[in-house]
Amino acid sequence: MSDIRLPVAGSDFFTEQTIAQFVIPAGAGATFAAANNIGTITFNAAHGLTLAPAANVPPNYYISFGGSTSGLTGTGVLVGNVFRILTIPSTTAITIYTTITAATVTSLTGIPVFYPWLQSSQQSGFVAGPTQTIATVVTPFAPGYLQAAAWNFSLGANCVLQYCPAQNAVILDGPTTSALGGTPAVAPTYRTIAAASTSNQMWVVPPNMGLFASGTTANSFISQIQ
């Protein structure tokens, strides 16, 4: 029996990607520290964020925040904005670029965000990629590759697909924050276009559309059409 397939007109899928992450509570004892516009957020337990995931699991290039903060100084807000993760220096900490200089973050939550193409590429518009430290070894990674794509998705209770109707969403890093004159004090408004535990096919255009972690333990699946 032959396993040769006849060519058929149509589209192929990239290998299905599985996302098991959900909202990460910062928790009691979590801290925020800033120096030279680099903010370090340290969660009270392992955050599970990684740039070197298992096969067919997308890496963590971007994060938003929910919950609440207090004692903000400098300019801007954390909650509602989307930031490029600059480094993952430990299993409990991440760094972002921000003009916020101090914050109390014990009631903050981290929200992993995923955009097409769910992979890295030197073709990214970002100047430099992030780094991750494991057992004191610092490993550089290529930046995330952003490009609109069609997704077939089956969401679990852990993710929602959101869009920004005003089309003013920005992924914040050094160049974008500088261009805006600082971390925005008013975050973009996002609306849910595909709720948790739903399935569909949709054209996803970053950064005004993206998959945001939500809810609780579950798996969400994405097959990107090429």
- pLDDT tens-digit profile of 123-167? 544 557 888 888 888 888 878 888 999 999 999 999 999 999 999
Which of the two residues, 68 and 133, has the higher pLDDT score? 68
Instruction: Give the per-residue pLDDT at 8.
Output: 46
Q: Percentage of the chain with pLDDT > 70?
A: 91
Task: State the pTM of this model.
Answer: 0.90
Distance CA(33)–CA(43), nearest Å, equals 12
Closest C-alpha to 213, from 109, 108, 86: 109
> What pLDDT does 25 receive?
95
Q: Is the pLDDT of residue 9 over 60?
A: no
Contact 212, 181 (CB under 8 A): no
Q: How confident is the model at residue 4 (pLDDT cuts 50, 70, 90)?
A: low
Q: What stretch of H or E contains 137?
A: strand 137-140
Give the model's pLDDT for residue 119.
67
Question: pLDDT, tens digit, for every residue of 164-187?
Answer: 999 999 999 999 999 999 999 999
Burial of 14 (0-12, 13-18, 19+ CB in 10 A): middle
Where do the domains of the chain lie? 17-225
Q: Between 177 and 7, whose confidence is greater?
A: 177
